[in-house]
Amino acid sequence: MSLPAMQITPSVLNANFAELGAEIARIPSADMVHVDVMDGHFVPNLTIGLPVVESIRKATDKLLDIHLMIEDPDRWAPDYAAAGADSVTFHVEAARAPIRLARELRKLGARASMALKPATPIDGFADMLTEVDMVLLMTVEPGFGGQSFLDLVLPKIRRTRELVRRTGAQILVQVDGGVSVDTIGRAAEAGADVFVAGSAVYRADDPDAMVNELRDAAVKGCQH
């Protein structure tokens, strides 16, 4: 499946959890559907788990981008890949053996992605970039939707893009947190090419129109 250069992956964190199938159907232009799994330990919030992801998988054929904000991803992440997730993201702050975990996810047929909190530097993980398909840089503190975009992460986005470029590999750079029409251009200009947007999409009058508006704004941003 060929994906556009700038990908919009709406988060269902801000959708109606009682109607997730219908909510996903409202964003046909989305490149992936971003699902936040929080355990109340690694982050203070508690959301959904494996059974709900399995139900979402049955309800849509869109690519599922699972973001695990949980303790012990080494134990749980492979189960999400086995459940049909197309991409599984684990936090390097929580993983005990991130390279082994990334390889296991790929072996199960999912894209492997590592996530970093705003204060976690990318340089310590430069050597393992080629073990993953995507790097997720949090642009808010993980755990809750609706937070404001942290511009202090922009230099890290630029640094990550530079390190990715040096590998010569096709590795996506995703940002998550406070992404809106007002902020997406700055993130794209810094080097991001995949954007998680939750409240911006699901609080819009027309969520799918917002998906396309965000993509257009990202394209304009990376042209500057």
- Catalytic residue numbers? 36, 176
* Alpha carbons 43 and 213: distance in angstroms, whole number: 31
Determine the residue type at 81: A
Sheet holding 134-138, edge to edge: 7-10, 194-197, 172-176, 134-138, 111-116, 87-91, 64-69, 33-38
Buried b (16+ CB within 10 A) or exposed e, 14-50: bbeeeebeebbebbeebbbbbbbbbbeebbeeebbee
* Count of other CB atoms within 10 angstroms of residue 70: 21
Alpha helices per DSSP H over the chain: 20-25, 50-59, 73-82, 98-107, 154-167, 184-190, 199-202, 207-222
Using alpha carbons, select from 102, 49, 58 the residue that is nearest to residue 80: 49
Question: Burial level of 9, CB count in 10 A (0-12/13-18/19+)?
Answer: buried
Neighbours of 107 (CB within 10 A): 11
